[in-house]
Amino acid sequence: MQGWQQLSQDAATGHLAPIKDRRFAAPAWASSPAHLMMAHLYLLSANAMGKMVEASDVTPDVKDRLQFSVMQWVDALSPANFFATNPDAQAALVDSGGESLVAGLKNLLSDVQRGRITQTDETKFQVGENVATTQGAVVFQNRFFQLIQYAPSTATVFQRPILLVPPCINKFYILDLQPENSFVRHAVEQGFTVFLVSWRNPLEQDKDGIDRATWDDYLEEGVLKAIDVTREISGQKQINALGFCVGGTVLATALAVAAARGEQPVAALTMLTSMVDFKDTGALGVFVDEQHAKLREQQIGQGGLMSARELGATFSFLRPNELVWNYVVSNYLKGETPAAFDLLFWNGDSTNLPGPFFTWYFRNTYLENKLRLPNKLTCCGERIDLRKLNMPTYIYASREDHIVPWRSAFASMSLFSGDNRFVLGASGHIAGVINPPAKKKRNYWVASDKASHTDPAKWEAQAAEVPGSWWPDWYEWLAAHSGKKIKTAKSLGNTQHKVIEAAPGSYVKVRAV
């Protein structure tokens, strides 16, 4: 009530303060006292709703869900989201002579057909032409993945290759966007021989049973097969491997299966923004409960697909103002064409998941957190124990990651029994990872080998900040585990695994919608 009274007094005297919130930052809001007052009252009410949730006498889990639900409704009801209450959209209509309204309706109808909100000008990108362009070839494929071997760009390469395992809920080319920000290209330029798993995108019309694929299938016919082929082509008994996000979870599980069989095919492991301990699941925790798990198991547990459309919407509504309502206003109310941005093009090119794979993953990691428990889970017929992963491991997390909280990634330090190095980067889940050195952006934190491996707060207190990208730190670490330099091979693949097609291959070009 005091806030309302103060706003009324300010409005009466013509001293309403400008609003810093970017939803109301356009000059049209400041030049219209009525609309500016509306925006102030909206923000006051939103703040009051947030305080009511904080004051509620409920369990932490319930409070998290209340906060998420209130955020969804409050963000959706912003006066900026409606033409009748958005003076900036109204000004665009007048200034364009009505053309902005026509363009906005066209954008809306186009997105209705797509089944998702367009976040970038997708006409500016083509997979294999201006994204995912690093030279290489597909040297193996089965119904789960294509294996890409990238062509070397140096006269000599490190003896031991590295296999990249990206998440199967997204396309791999987040690691190979454009030349200047391609993680793959930069690694190749450092003299590493790079192999990469390009996961298949299952479709409803597929008739080979991919919709019934299980977690074990992705381990046995996916990661473990990719490791074997990489070893065969390189002629190395051991290779290095990197897992990104869910790819790291799958990779660690597969290596635990190999360890249970008495095998150690990977000499050094890298985990990028990955979890194997799901105690704190961050923003996604609001979706995790027994009722949801059972519903999914009934729907798709025996077959069917978890759709890319639903997965994409879930991740977008974790940050609705940035990834939903921002585009509703610009695309539909103002009729603007979103700017071309490679990362957002990739974000809109998501994939379906086999139902049995998804439901196993959801229950055993997010809901019951069994993966971290020794011998609790059986995968591919083996009792798995992550403590048997005793190879040197580089664990990277991003400080502002809302999908994989950095302390959850840090938990791997006490689960893997080898010589572990933890690096904390700035920014979020994607921007923190894709941070090429040439741009000299952001920073990262490292600590000495004697820093705490069990307490993230103590590690953070002991860590030192380093300006720029973490990539050079990783290059130096990986080089120490990659063997000697050898002369570059003249061709890709070998007599057993011949080139099938040029990179990026055909699997990555299959769109879910």
Q: Which amino acid makes up residue 27?
A: P
Residues of the chain with pLDDT under 50: none
Cα Rg, the chain, nearest whole Å: 25
Nearest CA among 152, 268, 190, 270 for reference residue 476: 190
Residue 322 in any domain: the answer is no
The Cα 347–Cα 313 span in angstroms is 11
Same domain flag for 60 and 191? no
Cβ-proximal residues to 216 (8 Å cutoff; 6+ apart), any chain: 379, 380
Is residue 457 exposed (0-12), middle (13-18) or buried (19+ Cβ within 10 Å)?
Answer: exposed
Q: What is the pTM of this model?
A: 0.94
Residue 183 in any domain: the answer is yes
Same domain flag for 81 and 209? no
Angle separating helix axes 246-260 and 224-234, nearest 10 degrees? 80
Same domain flag for 385 and 439? yes
Same domain flag for 255 and 366? yes
Residue 108 in any domain: the answer is no
Same domain flag for 272 and 221? yes
**Confidence at residue 172, expressed as pLDDT on a 0 to 100 scale:** 97
CA of 447: how far to CAs of 110, 207, 393, 430, 441, in Å? 50, 51, 15, 23, 20
Largest CA distance in the chain: 83
Residue 200: phi, psi to the nearest 5? -70, 145
**Confidence at residue 453, expressed as pLDDT on a 0 to 100 scale:** 85
**Eight-class DSSP state of 131:** B
Which residues carry out catalysis?
245
**Confidence at residue 408, expressed as pLDDT on a 0 to 100 scale:** 96
Same domain flag for 91 and 235? no
Same domain flag for 277 and 392? yes
Residue 344 in any domain: the answer is no
Same domain flag for 168 and 91? no
In the block, which residue shows the tokens 């990634």? 409
| pLDDT tens, position by position, 207-236 | 999 999 999 999 999 999 999 999 999 999
Domain end marker among 95, 115, 150: 95
Our CA dihedral for 244, 248, 254, 257, rounded to 10 degrees, sits at 160
The Cα 289–Cα 284 span in angstroms is 11
**Confidence at residue 11, expressed as pLDDT on a 0 to 100 scale:** 86
Same domain flag for 256 and 147? yes
Residue 127 in any domain: the answer is no
Same domain flag for 141 and 208? yes
Domain residue limits at 51: 2-95
| pLDDT tens, position by position, 142-181 | 999 999 999 999 999 999 999 999 999 999 999 999 999 9
Domain end marker among 95, 116, 146: 95
* Number of separate domains in the chain: 2
Query: Is-contact 322 431, C-beta < 8 A?
Result: no
Residue 48 in any domain: the answer is yes
Domain end marker among 95, 110, 126: 95
**Confidence at residue 16, expressed as pLDDT on a 0 to 100 scale:** 87
Same domain flag for 82 and 212? no
Same domain flag for 13 and 150? no
Whichever domain contains 477, its CATH number is 3.40.50.1820
Residue 321 in any domain: the answer is no
Query: Is-contact 512 115, C-beta < 8 A?
Result: no
In order, the DSSP letters of 356-409 are: HHHHHHIIIIIIT--TTSTT--EETTEE--GGG--S-EEEEEETT-SSS-HHHH
Nearest CA among 274, 362, 278, 272 for reference residue 314: 362
Residue 395 in any domain: the answer is yes
The Cα 222–Cα 143 span in angstroms is 9
